Amino acid sequence: MSKFDEIMAIVESYLSNEEVRSIKKAYNAAKMAHESQVRLSGEPYLTHLEEVAFILAEMRLDASTIIAGLLHDTLEDTNLTRHMIEGAFGQEVAAIVDGVTKFNKIPLSSEYAHKLKNFCKFLLALSSDIRVVFIKLADRLHNMRTIEHQLPDKIRKISLETLRVFAPLADMVGVNKIKDELELLSFVQVRPEEAEAVQLRLEELSSKNKKLIDSIVADFERLLKNTFFNFKVSGRLKTAYSIWEKMRKRNFNLLQLNDIVAIRIIVNSVEDCYYALGIVHSAYQAVQGTIKDYISSPKSNRYQSIHTVVLGPYKQQLEVQIRTKEMDKMAEYGVAAHWNYKRKTGNTDNFENYKWLRGFLNHIGERSFYPPSDQNKNNDLFCDEVFCFTPNGDVITLPREASVLDFAYNIHTLVGNTCIGAKINGDTVPIQKKLQNGDTVEIITSPFQRPVPSWISKVVLKKSREAINRSLKSQKCKEYSEIGQKIVKQSMMNFSQNCSEEEIKQQLMISLGCESLDDLYVKTGQCIITSQQISQVLCQQKSDKIKRSGQYSKPYSIVMVEAEGTSNIFYNLINVFFAHDAEVLDVKTEIIKDNKIAISFEIYRTDLPEMQELTKSLSDVEGVINIEEQI
């Protein structure tokens, strides 16, 4: 029987005729698409797809998953497009295949993978449809089964990746059958000497204990048959990897290894589980502190069973697991078994709609080379973050509710400041569009774009808000600077001095306490520094220069002006003196009362007619109350 015939034999036992026909159609499409491709072993590439589909069928997964399993490499390795898959097999299958393709772009072996806290949880969060994870686990399992065809360095790299990522991922979704095989296959490659030593010790103990295991199983069967009509007892040797893990954690050597047998009791109901536990404990002494009730308190991956360790019939420690048939299926296939049960009972909720999936993700802890089983169970990364891709496949982690604009600022401030929109999965969207797990985001920019105040409400990242505020402040400062530059320039034009423009500006900066020329312009534009202050400084500078040069001995007059203290009064008066070519030598200001000021201008003495004209022009200035001349 061919592998495809084996697949058909399984799926025909639980899927409809229409679904079976769709799987055959997908098989033919995959066969045609990968027709010229071969694996490193020299086998047709189709054999890998058959094996993946067979693993998925053994898990009794739905037709869409098996079809996607057959097509999972088509988007990357063939000319088939998502549009073509959607047209032939529907949007659901196309989305799963696309999810597998995105999964393949995640840098599993990079430093990023090992630095990101809860990396396996990140993978689950990214896979909006859990069926993507099942396909990747099946894909990795078959690749590990045939890993001998890879180069030595590649073998170690893939095996480490499997131990660090895929075995813990299988544990998270409760697929213990796949987890155990992935761990064992990887262990043999990553630590070949330890694996061989443990395996030899297991074989040695197994040969001694083969009859012992059969005898123990028979003893348990005799113990239970008087109470239960329908039950099953089985014994097994623990896996080499699980034993090595226990040795490492408990710090004992191979010669001390004797706890290798596990007994499993399958009964009909939850009540029978507890009843069976009582019977076992009444017959055999329980090891204190070893009872674990995962029925009343299931593991985060929905695993349920009662565990206990007893001194068995031959005074040997035995691990005993007691569970129902449904619990046993859940222990082997986890989420997949739960979905299959729901399908049989007529509840056809989609995989991604299980509320408990999000619940158990909140209890997944950080995984490393030696994945701990029950650590860090209160992390809520899945609820708080979204994981998106750049067009190059880099992963960007952002808070949930993050927008396109947040994504842009996360890349670079300049990208954020010039963002006008984005393409998400090929569709053009505005800057406020919220991101979803797995989105591929391409930012669209324009050199003419600038941040505006309304952008603040479109972002959730503190980094984004700070960048927008800095840009808005910079834009405002630029406007103030342009205004201030004009005021300073006009004031300097009104005071003709035998100094370079740069020298005058430097003197203004020092006198007015500015850190830079731009600081002078901005403060002037903001009216922190007024034109009156600038004119006063310029007048004082000119007066000091005249005094130093000895020109101050020429006759001069003092014009006293009493005026209302308006903001522009000083500037307007100075302009009158300049308009009459009256050279101002010094200016002094005194506040009188009731918002009135007295300003004294020292000027070179002029002829009487000219003085009269000057006085008249000064009195015409708005706010001037009285003018006097002192000689």
DSSP letter assigned to residue 435: P
Residue 462 contacts residue 455 (beta carbons within 8 Å): no
Active site residue 602: no
* 292/372 Cα distance (integer angstroms): 17
* 587/609 Cα distance (integer angstroms): 23
What is the residue type of 456? I
Exposed, middle or buried, 460 (CB in 10 Å: 0-12/13-18/19+)?
A: middle
Q: Angle, nearest 10°, between helix axes 176-190 and 240-250?
A: 70
DSSP letter assigned to residue 568: T
Place of tokens 């010669």: 255
Residue 173 contacts residue 334 (beta carbons within 8 Å): yes
Catalytic hit among 35, 76, 380, 581:
76
* 406/433 Cα distance (integer angstroms): 10
3-state DSSP helix/strand/coil % of the chain, to nearest 5: 55, 15, 30
Active site residue 76: yes
What is the residue type of 67? I
Place of tokens 């619990």: 327
**Cβ within 8 Å of residue 3, ≥6 positions away:** 47, 50, 51, 54
Nearest one of 404, 335, 286, 304 to 130, comparing CA atoms = 335
Exposed, middle or buried, 73 (CB in 10 Å: 0-12/13-18/19+)?
A: buried
Length of the chain as a residue count: 631
Exposed, middle or buried, 435 (CB in 10 Å: 0-12/13-18/19+)?
A: buried
Residue 558 contacts residue 602 (beta carbons within 8 Å): yes
Q: Is 443 helix (H, G, I), strand (E, B) or coil?
A: strand
Give the residues across from 561 on adjacent strands.
Answer: 599, 627
Catalytic hit among 35, 43, 77, 544:
77
DSSP letter assigned to residue 164: I
* 61/7 Cα distance (integer angstroms): 12
H/E stretch holding 556 reads strand 556-564
Radius of gyration, alpha carbons of the chain? 41
Please identify every residue annotated as catalytic: 76-77
